[in-house]
Chain A
Amino acid sequence: MEKVHIVSGQLNHALHHIEAEAGTSINLCYQCGKCTAGCPASFAMDYPPRQIIRLLQLGFVEEALNAESIWICASCETCSSRCPRGVDIASLMDTMRRTALKRGQKDKRVAAFNKAFLANVKNFGRTYEAGLLLQYNLTTGQLFKDMGLGLPMMQRGKVSVLPEKIKARDEMKKIFERAEKLGGVE
């Protein structure tokens, strides 16, 4: 039988970076599958959590970063809290989303939602729920999504038409700029 050559984690720069930012080590994983068993969203994933780690262990970093799974993960932290080996899978997923985003590999719907959300925080210092939904619908081309909920929300006084703004809005913009600048150099 031919010997399979496995890329070691140390040799793979991208993998090393992901592990460092996630603050966890994939070599701890012995593939028991407890993460996948408890994952409430694994039913919709192409590679459930255990397989994502297996891909990374075998050096298939690109495949893992392209997996739909990382955008289906709801960050519920069940996997991390149950892992008998202490692998912080949720943090890995989080780091992989950020890495994929920086490389332009992203799930359009989730990324559009996040972008719209953070744009409000940058501009107003707070979440602006009405603006968020509208902006999200516009960028994803689902103009009438959840329209049936918008009006009842307003009638109930649960969504303000105008954004709530904090005083330190200039400071917020600077925080975003400085975070981008400093976060880039790692």
Chain B
Amino acid sequence: MKYAYYPGCSANGSGIEYGLSMERTAKILGFELQELEDWNCCGATSGHNTDQLLSLALPARNLAIAEKTGLKEMIAPCAACYSRHRNAEHVVKHDPEMKKKIEQVLEMELEGSTETLSILDVLVNKIGTEAIAAQVKKPLTTMKAASYYGCLLVRPVEHTGFDDPEDPQTMDQIMKALGADAVEWSHKTECCGAALVTSRPDVGTRMLYRVLKDAKESGAECLVTACPLCMLNLDMRQAAVEKEYKEKFNLPIYYVTELLAIACGDEPKTVGLEKHFVEAGQYLQTVQARAEEAKIAAEKAAQEAAAKAKAKASASKAKTGDATAEPDPKKVDAFKTALTKNPDKMAAKLVADPARAGILVSILDEKRIAKLANLMASDNDKAIKAAEAFVTGELKKREK
């Protein structure tokens, strides 16, 4: 698989670790990145704060270059770059008048055929968490990670749309695939203060404080990000926040790609971990040590459980109960998600008659989804029977 690649200005500067680990991530997972030739800055927030047409033309020039490569998908790891390019794409596709203006400014023609993707979207929806988990050599077991999405990876929904804007899950899924515990917390999509931390520290520092504080209070021991500006603020400015609010956080911040590369066997130095402001290497060692302990404890517990089971089995040889195997919880979850996100598609799989499938979609609630997901994970025939029964029941109800 080959993608057009827009590294963005920070990949060679303040976000150098993101650039390094992005390239490593691609190598490890076996996809190719073709950097756009002579790409320009997307204009970021300064662009759309100043001039609308310019803020569209700058990313559109990159889209035009990407179109020439023939590659349909472009990865923009930086959340701001991603947002600006998605925005320009949206306008090119839906606003013919503005598209014309952009083309006049660029003196280039635009097809609107390129789709800009975030790294989270690529990792979860193109590569898949199972493929990621298969590459993990040093799992991050016992790591307590708060996945921090910030603003522009999930908003505005009509430009992003690959994850839930209020409670996104893709980064959490990646962290789980790497073996870490994904901490539940409330500030995963709150703003870090962005450029305000520089231009209006009186405002930005407080925003930053709230994010760090909520992560800490929710039991996180580190934060994970996919945005170089979030990283810059959370990492470089953390000391200033601690000083201002007289509170110690000591929260190492990682790019999701750094953790992926390290969990898949890279040395921390390969991805530039020593360049962080908040020391980030020590925590990884702590995690490794705890993971070792947890592994030993788990093995011991398994042995004990096996011994117990054996004793029990020999004691009750007479009873030969045929306990049905529990379905794989991962599969059940996957079916639940599919039923929630794509009810039409899933209903069609269960109920052949389209009219009856439509009824099934209309009556799918949490309870029914749970039941169907459970059955689909263990025995699809039973799931089909249950789905048909739901529809028949509903029809009878309606007759009354």
A: residues with CB less than 8 A from B are 21, 40-41, 43-44, 71-72, 74-78, 80-81, 88, 90, 94-95, 97-98, 101, 109-110, 112-115, 117-118, 120-121, 125-127, 129, 133, 136, 146, 149, 152-153, 156-160, 164, 166-168, 172, 174-176, 178-180, 182-183
Contact = CB atoms under 8 A, between A and B. Distances in A.
Q: Identify the interface centre among A43, A109, A118: most chain B CB within 10 Å of its CB.
A: A118
B39 A166 contact: yes
A164 B191 CA distance: 29
B379 to A, nearest CB: 40
A43 B101 CA distance: 38
Interface of B: 9-10, 12-16, 38-41, 43-54, 57-58, 61, 101, 104-107, 151-152, 155-157, 165, 189-191, 193-196, 198-200, 202-204, 206-207, 210, 236, 275, 277
Contact of B54 (A90, A95, A183): A183
A99 to B, nearest CB: 11
The 6 closest A-B pairs by CB, nearest first: A76-B191, A127-B9, A117-B46, A77-B155, A114-B46, A183-B53
A53 B106 CA distance: 35
Contacts of A175: 54, 57-58, 61, 105-106
27 contacts: A72-B196, A74-B196, A74-B207, A75-B151, A76-B151, A77-B151, A77-B155, A78-B151, A81-B155, A81-B165, A98-B50, A109-B199, A112-B199, A114-B49, A114-B50, A121-B43, A129-B9, A146-B198, A158-B13, A158-B16, A159-B13, A159-B14, A168-B38, A176-B54, A179-B53, A179-B57, A182-B101
A23 to B, nearest CB: 9
> Interface majority SS on B: helix, strand, loop or mixed?
helix
Contacts of B204: 74
B201 to A, nearest CB: 9
Given A95-B52, A114-B50, A168-B38, 15 more contacts: A40-B191, A44-B203, A74-B194, A75-B49, A76-B191, A77-B155, A94-B52, A113-B195, A114-B49, A118-B43, A121-B40, A121-B41, A164-B9, A174-B107, A175-B106
